[in-house]
Structure 1
Amino acid sequence: MSDSLQEVYHIREMRLEDVRRIILIEREIFLFPWTEMNFADSITAGYYCRVIELNDLLIGYGIMMIGPDEAHILTIGISAQWQHQGWGRRLLQYFIDLARQQQSVAVLLDVRVSNGVAANLYRQLGFEQIAIRKGYYPAMGGREDALVMRLKL
């Protein structure tokens, strides 16, 4: 990623009017995408809903909720054409920093067992697998397990 690109991106609060663009990315990258209502409910519930923009182009999004001690990243996604360029790492680091600011002691997330690229990114950032949720995700022809990963802050 060039220095000029680093200067033109920003992360901001997700708005209801963003949901239609987010859904396009969601459908592009996930076989079993969230619905518009899932995103709208997260915004109205007051979760930490953010988008990452590059030159006013929405290229990714994430949602995190924070409980008394822990933050839980509910979803994170980067448009396919912008993946493998460091944008997911930047957005994830933003959420980790936000969790620290909110005095969380850990960040939790779930990832499909088959999503090795994401799991490796999480490990690079210090997340450790702490459990497996059997049959957590819908999958073609059944269900898929989720790795539960935690980053101690």
Structure 2
Amino acid sequence: MTRDDLPTVMEIERATFPADAWSEAMMRGELRDQPRTRHYVVAEIDGTIVGYAGLAVAADQADVQTIAVLAGHRRAGIGAALMDELLAEAVRRGASSVFLEVRADNPPAQAMYERFGFVRLGVRRRYYDDGTDAITMVKELGERDGR
């Protein structure tokens, strides 16, 4: 992902996370830390961005910062491809575990993460701006991991 991608990424961000979308300034800050501690990618179909994802890595721990796919393109493997890329980058950077937070009211996302081997750690009460809880999850990475 580059700064040139931000107008489209921000449209997807606001459409996907209307109650707690990141600001463009927040996203620019993430991109400034790329590639030092961040890795952001976009998914395109016919040259149009339809999804994006980001990872933060410090020492041996990685955190999925965000992952989003336009509603009309969900359930087509795009989110899985983005997650594959984030996990592969975590392995490349030497992470031993990957953490994430997911909205408690988003069972499809939770199911996708579980398919990737993430397990539930706990709950962060009222984590999101609208008061929704977050479920914290972790995936331990093995020698042959990437998925």
Give the structure-2-normalised TM-score. Answer: 0.90
Higher share in strand: 1
Match of 1:42 in 2: 30
From 14, 28, 53, give the equivalent of 1:27. Answer: 14
- Aligned-residue CA RMSD (Å): 0.9
* 2:135 equivalent to 1:147: yes
Match of 2:76 in 1: 85
In structure 2, list runs of 5 or more residues that go unmatched.
Answer: 142-147
Residues 67-119 of structure 1, C-alpha deviations (whole Å, 9 max, x = no match): 11111011110111111111001100110111011110011110010010000
Q: Aligned equivalents of 2:49 and 2:31: distance in 1?
A: 17
What amino acid maps onto 1:145 in structure 2?
D
Structure 1 residue 28 displacement after superposition: 1.3
Q: Aligned equivalents of 1:97 and 1:63: distance in 2?
A: 12
Match of 1:63 in 2: 54
Residues 27-47 of structure 1, C-alpha deviations (whole Å, 9 max, x = no match): 111122111111111000221
Q: Aligned equivalents of 1:29 and 1:135: distance in 2?
A: 19
Give the structure-1-normalised TM-score. Answer: 0.87
Match of 1:112 in 2: 103
Q: Aligned equivalents of 2:109 and 2:100: distance in 1?
A: 11
Q: Structure 1 stretches (4+) deviating beyond 3 angstroms?
A: none
In structure 1, list runs of 5 or more residues that go unmatched.
Answer: 1-13
